[in-house]
Amino acid sequence: MQRVLVVGAAGLLGQYLTKAGKEMGHNMSGTYNSVVPTDTNEMLQLDITDRGQVAEAIERSRPELLVLSAAMTNVDQCEREPAKAYAVNMEGAFNVAAECKAADVKMVYISTDFVFNGLKGGRYYEFENPDPLGIYAQSKLEGERVTMDASRSNVVCRVSVVDGWNSEGGKKNFVTWVIDSLQKGQGVRLYSDQYVSPTYAPEAAKVIMELAVKGAHGTYHTSGPDCLSRFEIGVRVAETFSLDRGLISPVTTSEMPLMAARPPRSCLSVDQAEAELGRPMINMSQGLTMMRSDKP
Ligand SMILES: NC(=O)c1ccc[n+]([C@@H]2O[C@H](COP(=O)([O-])OP(=O)(O)OC[C@H]3O[C@@H](n4cnc5c(N)ncnc54)[C@H](OP(=O)(O)O)[C@@H]3O)[C@@H](O)[C@H]2O)c1
C-alpha cells in the first residue's frame, strides 16, 4: 500500500485516479481548485500556481507518490490566455515537480497527444520528437520537461480525448457532450479530419496507477488503442447509446475553423504500456459499453 496524492482530484481523470487507487488498496488523498467536490474528506484546496500551497499540501499529506492531473485543459482558452496557460501548465507543474524533488516523492505527470504535430500519418511512439502546435500543447510539453528534469524516476503519461461520466462539477467531455446533444435532438457537426486515440477515464486511471506503483519511469502512452476521427467516435457513441446517428454530420477543420490549431492525427501507440502491464488496453467500443452499463 502506498500513500498517493492526486492533484486535480475533482477533474475528470483525477476522480477516477482516486477511485482506481482506492480499489487497488492505496491510501488516497486529493486536491481540488475552484470546483469543490461533493465529498471533501481527504481533500485539500490547492492552486498549483502557488508554490507555498504546493509545499504545504505535500507536507500535510506526506505522499510517496503524487499524480499531477490538474491543468488548464481548454485548448482554445489557452490560446486566448497564454500567460495563464503557462502559469498553470508549466509553472504549476514546475512547482509540483520541485516540491516533489525536495520531499523525495515520485511524480506522475498527465500529458497529452497534442504534444505531436499530427503530420506523421501513423501512430506516435514515446521516443518520437514532439512538435506542439498551440499554447496548450506547448505549455503541456514544458510540464513534461520540468517533470523529467526534476527526476528521471518520474513518469509522464500521455492521454488523448478523455471520456467518462463526470460526477464532479458538471463539466462535459466530448462523449458526454455528444450524448447530451443527441438526447436533446440537437444536431452535432463533428470533425472528420481530426484523428485521436479516445481514452476511457476509468481504464486510463487504472493503467496509470498500475504503471506508477510498479516503478515505471519515463514516458508512456496510456490512451486507448484506437485511431478514430471525432466523427467516427460520435457515430460509435450514437450506436452504443441507441441515439439518432442521423443527427451527426461530418465537418472538416477548414469548414469550421477553431481558435487553436489541432494536430490532424495525434494517435498514440500504446505498445509500451501494454508490454509493461502484460495486457491489452481496452478499446473505444469496450469503453463505451462499460460507460453504458455504469450510467448514473
Ligand atoms: N480532457 C482531455 O480530453 C485530455 C486530453 C489529453 C490530455 N489531457 C490531460 O489530462 C489531464 C486531466 O484532464 P481532465 O480531462 O481530467 O481535465 P479537467 O476535468 O479539466 O480537470 C482538470 C482539473 O485541473 C484543475 N485545475 C485547473 N487549474 C488549476 C490550478 N491552478 N491549480 C490546481 N488545480 C487546477 C481543475 O480545477 P478547477 O476546475 O476547479 O479549476 C480541474 O479539476 C490534464 O493534465 C490534461 O491536460 C486531457
What's the 246 CA to ligand 1 centre distance in angstroms?
A: 32
The C-alpha atoms of residue 108 and residue 111 are separated, in whole angstroms, by: 10
Q: Residues near ligand 1 with C-beta < 6 Å?
A: 8, 10-14, 32-35, 46-49, 69-73, 88, 92, 110, 112, 140, 159-162, 171
Q: In terms of DSSP bridges, do strands 228-229 and 195-196 run parallel, antiparallel, or are they unpaired? A: antiparallel
Q: State the cell numbers at 148.
A: 523529467
Which atom of ligand 1 lies nearest, measured to the CA of 113?
A: 6
Which atom of ligand 1 lies at the shortest distance from residue 174's CA? 3
Q: Which residue among 156, 162, 219, 270 is best mutated to probe the pocket of ligand 1, counting the most ligand atoms within 8 A of its Cβ? A: 162
Q: Best mutation site among 7, 32, 33, 221 for ligand 1, i.e. most ligand atoms within 8 A of its Cβ?
A: 33
| Ligand 1 center from residue 7 Cα (angstroms) | 9
Q: Is 6 helix (H, G, I), strand (E, B) or coil?
A: strand
CA 46 to ligand 1: nearest atom: 33
114 C-alpha to center of ligand 1: Å? 15
CA distance 102 to 165: 36
Instruction: Write the residue with the smallest CA distance to atom 43 of ligand 1.
Output: 11
Q: What are the residue numbers of the active site?
A: 136
| Residue nearest ligand 1's atom 42 by CA | 11
CA of 8 to the centre of ligand 1 (A): 6
Compute the distance between CA of residue 111 and CA of residue 268 in angstroms, rounded to an integer: 12
Nearest atom within ligand 1 for CA of residue 92: 31
Within 13 Å and on the Cβ side, how many CA atoms surround 237? 27
Pick the atom of ligand 1 nearest to 33's CA: 40
Strand intervals (E) in the chain: 3-7, 27-32, 43-45, 65-68, 106-112, 155-159, 162-163, 188-191, 195-196, 199-200, 218-221, 228-229, 248-251
CA 137 / ligand 1 centre spacing (Å): 13
Which residues, at least 6 apart from 24, have a Cβ–Cβ distance to it below 8 Å? Answer: 206, 209, 210, 213
pLDDT in the model for residue 295: 84
pLDDT value for 39: 87
> 187, exposed or middle or buried, with CB in 10 Å at 0-12, 13-18, 19+?
exposed
The answer to whether the CB of 159 falls within 8 A of the CB of 113 is yes
* Domains of the chain as residue ranges with CATH: 3-160+200-223 (3.40.50.720)
Q: What is the pLDDT along the chain (296 residues), one digit of tens a residue?
A: 899 999 999 999 999 999 999 999 999 999 999 999 988 888 999 999 999 999 999 999 999 999 999 999 999 999 999 999 999 999 999 999 999 999 999 999 999 999 999 999 999 999 999 999 999 999 999 999 999 999 999 999 999 999 999 998 889 999 999 999 999 999 999 999 999 999 999 999 999 999 999 999 999 999 999 999 999 999 999 999 999 999 999 999 999 989 999 999 999 999 999 999 999 999 999 999 999 999 87
Question: Could you tell me the distance, in angstroms and rounded to a whole number, from the CA of residue 113 to the centre of ligand 1?
Answer: 15
For atom 3 of ligand 1, the residue with the nearest CA is 161
